Structure 1
Amino acid sequence: MAARRRRVSRSSMSVWFRRALIVLAVLVAAPIVLTILYLPPFVHPVSTLMLKDLATFQGYDRRWVPIEDVAPALVNSVIMSEDGQFCFHRGIDLGELKGVINDALAGESTRGASTIPMQTVKNLYLWNGRSFVRKALELPLAVYFDLMMPKKRLMEIYLNIAEWGPGIYGIEAASQYHFGKPAKNLTRRQAALLAVSLPNPIERNAGKPGPGLQRLAGLIERRAGGAGDYVGCVGTAG
Structure 2
Amino acid sequence: MIRAARILFKATLWFVVLSVLWVGLYALVPPPFTLTMAGDLFQGRSITKDWTPLADIDPDMPRAAIAGEDARFCLHHGFDWRAIAGAAARNAQGRRIRGGSTISQQTAKNAFLWQGGGYLRKALEAWFTTLIELIWGKRRIMEVYLNLAETGIGTYGVEAGSIRYFDHSAARLTPTEAGRIAAVLPLPKKRAAIDPRGFVRRHGNAIAARVGVVRRQGLDACLK
Q: Tell me if TM exceeds 0.5.
A: yes
The TM-score normalised by the length of structure 1 is: 0.81
Name the SS for the 1:226 alignment partner. helix
For the pair shown, which has the larger CA radius of gyration, 1 or 2?
1
Deviations 1:50-101 (A, max 9, x none): 2444566644111011111111111100111011110010000011122344
Distance apart, 1:185 and its partner CA: 1.6
Aligned identity (percent) is 33
For 1:129 and 1:96, the matched residues in 2 are separated by 20
* Corresponding residue number in structure 2 for 1:187: 174
For 2:170 and 2:78, the matched residues in 1 are separated by 26
* Corresponding residue number in structure 2 for 1:31: 19
Distance apart, 1:232 and its partner CA: 0.8
Residue of 182, 197, 205 corresponding to 1:210: 197
Contact 2:166 2:194 in 1 (8 A): yes
* Corresponding residue number in structure 1 for 2:53: 66
Residue of 67, 73, 86 corresponding to 2:73: 86
Q: How many residues align?
A: 221
Q: CA RMSD in A?
A: 2.7
Contact 1:62 1:169 in 2 (8 A): yes
* Corresponding residue number in structure 2 for 1:96: 83
Matches within 5 A, 1:83-232: 83-102=70-89, 110-227=97-214, 228-232=217-221
Contact 2:67 2:207 in 1 (8 A): yes
For 1:57 and 1:25, the matched residues in 2 are separated by 37
Give, as a single letter, the amino acid of the residue that structure 1 aligns with 2:126: L
* Structure 1, unpaired ranges of 5+: 1-14
Larger CA deviation: 76-85 vs 49-58 = 49-58
Deviations 1:154-195 (A, max 9, x none): 100111111111110111111111111100121111110000
Larger CA deviation: 116-125 vs 206-215 = 206-215
* Structure 2, unpaired ranges of 5+: none
For 1:185 and 1:108, the matched residues in 2 are separated by 38
Contact 2:30 2:51 in 1 (8 A): no
Larger CA deviation: 163-172 vs 209-218 = 209-218
Deviations 1:179-236 (A, max 9, x none): 111001211111100001100011111113103211111111111112132111112x
Give, as a single letter, the amino acid of the residue that structure 1 aligns with 2:223: V
For 1:59 and 1:24, the matched residues in 2 are separated by 36
Contact 2:78 2:130 in 1 (8 A): yes
Name the SS for the 1:33 alignment partner. helix
Contact 1:45 1:157 in 2 (8 A): no
For 2:91 and 2:174, the matched residues in 1 are separated by 39
